[in-house]
Amino acid sequence: MKDMLLVELLTEELPPKSLARLAQAFHEQLHAQLLAAGFIEAQEAGRWLATPRRLAVQFEQVQAAQPDRVIERKGPAVVSGLEDNGQPSKALQGFMRSAGVSFEQLERTHDGKAEYFVARQHKAGEALDLHLATMVEAALKKLPVAKLMRWGAGEAQFVRPVHRLLMLHGSRVVPGNVLGLTAGNVTRGHRFMSAGEIVIANAADYVDTLRDTGKVIADFAERREMIRTQLQQAAGGLQCLEDAALLDEVTALVEYPAVYAASFEAEYLAVPQECLILTMKANQKYFPLFEQGKLSNRFLVVSNMAVVDPTHIIEGNARVVRPRLADAKFFFETDRRLPLQQRAAELGRVIYHNKLGTQQQRVERLVAIARQVATLLRSDVAQAERAALLCKADLTSLMVGEFPELQGTMGRYYALHDGEAQAVADAIEAHYRPRYAGDALPQGNVACAVALADKLDALAGLFSIGQIPTGDKDPFGLRRAALGVLRILLETPLPLPLDELIGTAMQLNRGDAAAAGQLFEFMLERLRGLLRDAGHAVNAVDAVLALKPTRIDLVTAKLEAVRVFSALPEAEALAVANKRIVNILKKSALESLPDEADVALLQAPAEKALFEQVVAITPHIRSLVAAEDYTEALTQLAGLRAAVDRFFEDVMVMAEETLIRQNRLALLKQLAGLMNQVADISRL
């Protein structure tokens, strides 16, 4: 008999930021076990439900008992399972004992490589009642819980204390014990709005009964959509902040959501809106409202109570937020009394890293790197130096001390208050960008100079002391910093040599050439992933990066050139020939070969023809590459195909006579240098 299965754990308030993840994991683990045991079929997906005080799962078509099954156990190979006299070996005897079968009951099977003994046993299906509690316990143990709690006098452990266990198959309670609790069909609804304890008559009635009697919306997705809709309605003519993470968090904090509009005194709007938004979101879980893109003094509260007269809820939340806003106002006004330049002098007391000195020493390095970048970009060097000097000064401010997320943002406000140039203030805010994948890049050469300096110094400094990311471990966010550098160079784009920038940053951090080389290779690997994620062909990326380009801004044009070249009918043959050339040259002492072949030593017509074409086309190819017209350069190389094919058909490269052999190798070296200026064609 099939029926709906329901399992619910009633708990204390669960961690809101991980509620959905816990519920999903519980559903996945229990689904896998029910499927493996034969209680459900593969198409039975089930669903997970979650509120602040419960985790639940439902499966529609669950068998009351498993179907009869054949359990197959693979034993030793026949060769090792039998003695010379045909009797079972010790290994086979041990297998028979563990499987509970006699020699006559064994079967033989062939897996395509060898013949094996197999024990097949028919096992009658067992009732769901015998297995469900064990499955639930096993699923709970596999949940992504960082720290377990123990409560009462028992030994049970979970992320929060568990008070009730509900296990229903249709209208029948499935007996069992989980975390020291006996299964039943009674749960609880909303802490304040419920009609008391709730009996779930049938597993299929669970969601409706909780909604109607318990005033609990059990479905997380449904509750989230209710909140989103109510936010839009309550906003009136204003715009509500779209924040998916905040919406998920408040969904995990309420069981029966109701949205109310509240307000605060308009005087607080004199504080930068980033500060007010952050304190409302982070501390109070409120949704700020905007008018024409500017923060208003109204906000929305997601309450866990739906009441006829919400006045006390609205006024209570307004009272709660007021001290937070007052603190922000105090921090802002106090911070502005001390200019950023004086704050920068205080950075000498702030340790950046015990092996890399103070923040002040770091700022000195940032100034030097920013100066180099601005000089190469022919930008305003003085502004770049000034922005680099002040970019970390807000770390000592009260506001950033309270809200570290505002570093850079507050520096910009304070710089403008101090009368700094707009470009300097903007660079202070933008030098942390991009903070994450898809984040906006710094705009303008001054901002880019400081942003590059910040990231390159972090990378060079930590690589110089051996703090290189390994595996999944990256405590200093160096992969993110590397991707930031690459995105700025690639997408802005900026004509800067990456190896020189790394060299300067490494020298300032007293790193050696080996560390600089490691960092450059690290950056190329990040670039490889970045380009592949952007949709570029893997072999094209490998071909371009094989030449270890230092001008990252030119990589996209080279990839486009390779894409066009790969579509030409001559491309495959030239790639194969180029690979052959590379392999031949690898076996030769390249440093002893001249850069060009000697025309006087050419003998065969095919090598003379190839030499003439190479000499004729070389200046043109070099001119195209210098002009960064990589597509045309590779297209022109396609004209060499016939001469290259004829050379390999008619000419013995490794001739017995040394001078002839060396001259032919020199010709191949000359050809390889010509063909591989844009990318390593052999990688195609």
179: left (phi over 0), alpha (psi -120 to 50) or beta: left
Q: Which residues of the chain have pLDDT under 70?
A: 590-591
Q: Quick one: pLDDT at residue 590?
A: 66
Predicted pLDDT at 473: 87
Residue bearing tokens 């921090």:
331
The pLDDT value recorded for residue 4 is 97
CB-CB contact of 286 with 317 (8 Å): yes
Alpha-carbon gap, residue 519 to 512, rounded angstroms? 11
114 Cα distance to chain centroid = 44
Question: How far apart are alpha carbons 678 and 16 in whole angstroms?
Answer: 52
- Measured from the Cβ of residue 627, the count of other Cβ atoms closer than 10 Å reads 10
- Give the burial string for 574-597 (b: 16+ CB within 10 Å, else e): bbbbbeebbebbeebeeeebeebb
**CA 474 from centre of chain:** 12
Instruction: From residue 71, give the alpha-carbon distance in Å to each of 33, 68, 94.
Output: 16, 10, 18
Cα angle value 372/373/378 (rounded, 5°): 100
Rounded (10°) angle between helices 409-417 and 422-430:
160
Preceding amide of 493 cis, omega within 30:
yes
Cβ proximity of 341 and 393 under 8 Å: yes
Intra-chain end-to-end CA distance of the chain, in Å: 60
pLDDT one-digit tens code per residue, 283-311: 899 999 999 989 999 999 999 999 999 99
For the record, the structure tokens of 613 come out as 């074409």
Q: Give the pLDDT score at 383.
A: 98
The CB density around residue 134, as the number of other CB atoms within 10 Å, is 14
Q: 429 near 416, Cβ under 8 Å?
A: no
255/189 Cα distance (integer angstroms)? 9
Sorted by sequence, the CB contacts under 8 Å of residue 177 that are 6+ apart come out as 133, 165, 183
